């Protein structure tokens, strides 16, 4: 049950991302595409793909982090 709740929280965090961040995460981690394949699919550079993945993961992490941890930083 706890695992299902965690998975739901991750899905909600990802679905709340802007499309350009959500799409790179889905293509990378759900579809298993390489950075080059994502760049080709999204018509952007590999550097842009890496940047979008980085910031998307950072945003998901912030959404999943309990509020009391955020206040400590």
**pLDDT tens track for 20-68:** 999 999 999 999 999 999 999 999 999 999 999 999 999 999 988 876 5
Predicted confidence at residue 65, as pLDDT, reads 86
Contacts with 39 (C-beta within 8 Å, 6 or more apart), sequence order: 45, 46, 48, 49
Higher pLDDT, 69 or 40: 40
* Residue 44 DSSP SS3: coil
55 contacts 21 by C-beta, under 8 angstroms: yes
Q: What is the pTM of this model?
A: 0.80
- Calpha distance 28→49 (Å, rounded): 10
């Amino acid at each position: 049950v706890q695992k299902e709740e965690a998975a739901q929280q991750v899905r909600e965090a990802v679905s709340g991302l802007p499309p350009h961040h959500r799409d790179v995460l889905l293509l990378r981690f759900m579809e298993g595409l390489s950075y080059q394949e994502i760049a080709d699919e999204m018509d952007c550079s590999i550097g842009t793909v890496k940047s979008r993945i980085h910031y998307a993961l950072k945003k998901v992490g912030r959404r999943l982090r309990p509020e009391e941890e955020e206040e400590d930083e």
